[in-house]
Chain A
Amino acid sequence: MRAIVPASLAGVIFGAGLALSDMVNPARVIGFLDIAGTWDPTLALVMGAAVVASAIGFAFSRRLRAPLFGKSFFIPENRRLDSQLIGGAALFGIGWGLVGFCPGPAIAGLIYGIWQPWLFVAAMTAGMVLQRVVSAPRKAKADA
């Protein structure tokens, strides 16, 4: 598994970016989402810079046949918009707005010695399991 070292490195850099830009701080995130209050543009600027860097990476990947430590690129090809995508994104957005945690910052925040990210990540795991349980019968029917 040669990809483990690069994956760890990417994870560490990703987590460092979240911490450096204060995205690990739910109050900073809520400040951005609260457009009717004293709006905090930080998240928009962080996301803008992040998208530019990732776009350069994706553009460069199109010139490569395969990643350096892998057989091929795994890039989703589905381009169809459906109710699951939009409904899922809406539910995620409501949860994100309630406390200001999304998955990356909550997981990175597990090291700060506070209990809230632990509770959030536990509940998030339960939510993922629940989604799988709820969707399993429908999927089984679709597969049949």
Chain B
Amino acid sequence: MLEPLNPAFVVGGGLLIGGAAALLLLLTGRIAGVSGMFATVVRIADAGPPWKLAAAFVVGLPIGAAVTSILVRKPNIEVTSSVPLLIAAGLLVGFGTRLGNGCTSGHGVCGIGRLSPRSIAATVTFMAAAVATVFVARHVLGA
């Protein structure tokens, strides 16, 4: 297991994520769903926010990460997954989030925050699928 993170970063980070979603809603009226915003940016969404709004939000994500690296902490990221695994995972995440209309942000953070039955069902489903996948990969196949 990784070193436990400073609890202030854990709670503070969560509040920033949810606070950003609240801010986007109250200021622009839009749900902070990253998969939907990204689909709008790459112009494959049939509905959704105006392109400029989505692009502004999506481009903000890496900028926010960069600002955090400079001012607070630089995450020590090591991705050990192979190229085929990264491609397979990306394809599944892209396909699944469009088919299911959302990901961890739109269904998880925003949907549960407004008690949407669809989002609660989706979050339970993707959490269960992810837990099962990790279990099979780590403890059955032993990767």
Q: Which residues of A contact B (CB under 8 A)?
A: 1, 3-28, 30-31, 33-40, 42, 45-58, 60-61, 64, 66-76, 78-81, 84-104, 106-112, 114, 116-117, 119-132, 135
29 A–B pairs (Cβ distance < 8 Å), ordered by A = A3-B27, A10-B23, A14-B57, A20-B12, A20-B72, A21-B5, A27-B78, A33-B130, A46-B13, A47-B104, A49-B10, A49-B12, A56-B22, A66-B29, A76-B101, A85-B121, A85-B122, A89-B121, A90-B96, A90-B125, A91-B129, A93-B133, A96-B129, A103-B93, A108-B61, A116-B86, A123-B90, A130-B95, A132-B44
A16–B134 alpha-carbon span in the complex (Å): 27
Q: Which B residues are CB-close (under 8 A) to A88?
A: 95-101, 122
| Interface residues of B, count at CB 8 A | 111
Contact between chains at A57 and B116 (CB < 8 Å):
no
Q: Report the minimum CB–CB distance from A115 to chain B (whole Å).
A: 9
A73–B92 alpha-carbon span in the complex (Å): 30
Contact between chains at B94 and A125 (CB < 8 Å):
yes
Contact between chains at A11 and B100 (CB < 8 Å):
no
Q: Which B residues are CB-close (under 8 A) to A67?
A: 25-29
Number of A-B contacts (CB under 8 A): 504
Contacts beyond the supplied A53-B15, A54-B22, A89-B121: 8 A-B pairs with Cβ under 8 Å:
A26-B79, A49-B10, A50-B109, A85-B118, A91-B92, A92-B129, A103-B93, A104-B104
